[in-house]
Chain A
């Protein structure tokens, strides 16, 4: 009689994977968790405004022109204007008074606020047309953040594809992509962006995404290529080779999950850069078309408003952007440290 020795015990359960370990490290990092919360809050506002639940009515002229923030109080000059005009005795000497009254009644029925009914102050003020700055900032953030995210996705996808092909195949393919890389990096990125903007002529959100995405792939390419060179000689790739996996399968099913953390970190870094770039492009008028609001177009309006002493639109757009970018960069740093502890 012999006792059977169990081959597997539950004591040693599966060791945590890369992502679980990284998440554990992130959880312990207080700065990372706070910045993640801020980033998620911004993403939530993007989601809500994109679905029309929030700030869909930002174009309503709900306040008087340049209504100041509530904590400052109404502008005395504008407050005088906002007071209802002295009642004029009906049909005393104006032959059109009856028609005017009818028009006013019709407008009131359609819910259009007259100047008198507009708010004198708003929580964070109003712009030139009386749009609510808070709603406008949310709407502008939607444009800027979506452009940043999608452009970074395009750039990382291109960089990963090129890097995988170059690093995995080596030889002629590698030479070709390296030549590509040298060509693209010898033109400063801002000049490249402006050149493509000049060529494309038409303005549109899709165009900015393309401009930023097509010019930003070089950073991810360099790192992903190095990772593929490192990984292609590893045993698990040889094992995949032995069971007859195709090169595409080896590249993207076997190797990619092992280098995807590099792509993720690169993407989080690119998002920050692209949000900044979109703001500058839109400010210059090469970005979003007229009628679409972004943080860049808000800064453009705010520049001339500042001379009039109306600083609130500048403050709102600038601080919303600074808050998001700070949180995003801190999170990107923490993510890099968590995913690549060797680097620290």
Chain B
């Protein structure tokens, strides 16, 4: 087990190196010289030279790459260009609000998705099944923007059931008051694709021999679905949920932006708007690292769910 984890971490190194080089190339080669951006409209040559020296842009590219690697390893990307706030502080302080929305959303989405998928998969081919699938396709076709605009206008602005936007200091107030509508919208948007996917996972299992055997020995349908099928369908479900967690951190940026939640996603949007490169670089590298770690965690969880899986 320990050797397995160690080997997997070792295998991540080339991928991580690739991510670092890719981000470096994007910002230092494709992006052009940021010192003109920083110096503003009335830039003179001395100011630009000064900024270039501060950013290390006058050094050879190998030195610049080394500076970038050192920044990543020491969690120190300096200060954000637009606000002067340390990048490490931006990331740590924005993580909390993001997770306040994302953790309940992921749990609700997974639980609802599994329950509905099990219910639907066992009446497959029926009218209800087909209607639900059509509803899912239509639901997935409507832009997430439309969901947010309409729900925010209808439920918060017109009916006043939720605050239109905002964020407070206390965790319980944030979760129950400000995060409620974003979570609801996130659930409405994500349940259709999740249900479709989980249904296909369950369907793959529902035709297996062990299901027929379980039925033949007289088990109740409820036990077959919730114990036998669910346990086997859990592997692809875990992969899906775990692999999507880091992406969700950014993926919720529209919710965070519309509802004024000071999370990571909104910070990325702001950084793109202000060309605040250090923030984008840091978030990209760390989210990529998180994606790899979560993939490893998913593989480790397989063994807990399925004793046949041997991690070598």
Residues in chain A within 8 A of chain B (CB atoms): 179-180, 182-184, 186-192, 194-201, 276, 279-280, 283-286, 295-296, 299, 302-303, 306-307, 314, 318, 321-323, 325-326, 329-330
Q: Are B23 and A188 in contact (CB under 8 A)?
A: no
State the Cβ distance, B57 to closest chain A Cβ, in Å.
15
Across the interface, A306 reaches (CB within 8 A) one of B27, B137, B144, B149, namely B149
Report the bound CA distance from A72 to B196 in whole Å.
38
Partner of B251, one of A180, A188, A198, A318: A188
Any A CB within 8 A of the CB of B298: no
Could you list 22 examples of A-B contacts with CB < 8 Å?
A182-B18, A183-B15, A186-B291, A187-B287, A191-B283, A195-B272, A198-B277, A199-B26, A199-B31, A200-B30, A276-B143, A276-B144, A279-B145, A280-B143, A299-B145, A303-B149, A306-B149, A314-B150, A318-B142, A318-B143, A318-B146, A321-B142
Option from B150, B153, B247 in Cβ contact (under 8 Å) with A188: B247
Task: Say whether A191 contacts B277, CB under 8 Å.
Answer: no
Please name 8 further chain A to chain B contacts, defined as beta carbons within 8 Å, in addition to the given A198-B277, A276-B144, sorted by A numbering.
A186-B291, A190-B247, A198-B272, A200-B30, A306-B153, A314-B150, A322-B141, A322-B143
Q: Which residues of A contact B22 (CB under 8 A)?
A: 183-184, 187
| Interface residue range, chain B | 35 or more
B121 within 8 A of partner (CB): no
- Most chain A beta-carbon neighbours within 10 Å: one of B18, B23, B30, B246: B18
**How would you classify the secondary structure of chain A's contact residues: helix, strand, loop or mixed?**
helix
Is B38 an interface position by the 8 A CB rule?
no
Q: Which residues of B contact A198 (CB under 8 A)?
A: 31, 271-272, 275, 277, 280
Interface of chain B residues 1 through 33 with chain A (CB within 8 A): 14-16, 18-19, 22-23, 26-27, 30-32
| Nearest CB of chain B from residue A236's CB, rounded to whole Å | 32
| B49 in contact (CB, < 8 A) | no
Give chain B's interface residues, CB within 8 Å of chain A: 14-16, 18-19, 22-23, 26-27, 30-32, 137-138, 140-146, 149-150, 153, 157, 246-247, 250-251, 253-254, 268-269, 271-273, 275, 277, 280, 283-284, 287-288, 291-292
The docked-state distance in angstroms from the alpha carbon of A184 to that of B142 is 27
For B138, the chain A residues whose CB sits under 8 A away are: 322, 326
Q: Cβ of B141: which chain A residues have Cβ within 8 Å of it?
A: 321-323, 325-326, 329
Contacts of B247 in A (CB 8 A): 188-191
> With a CB–CB cut-off of 8 A, which chain A residues contact B277?
198
Are B15 and A191 in contact, with the CB atoms below 8 A?
no
- Nearest Cβ in chain A — how far from B72, in angstroms? 14
Give the chain A neighbours of B16 by CB distance below 8 A: 186
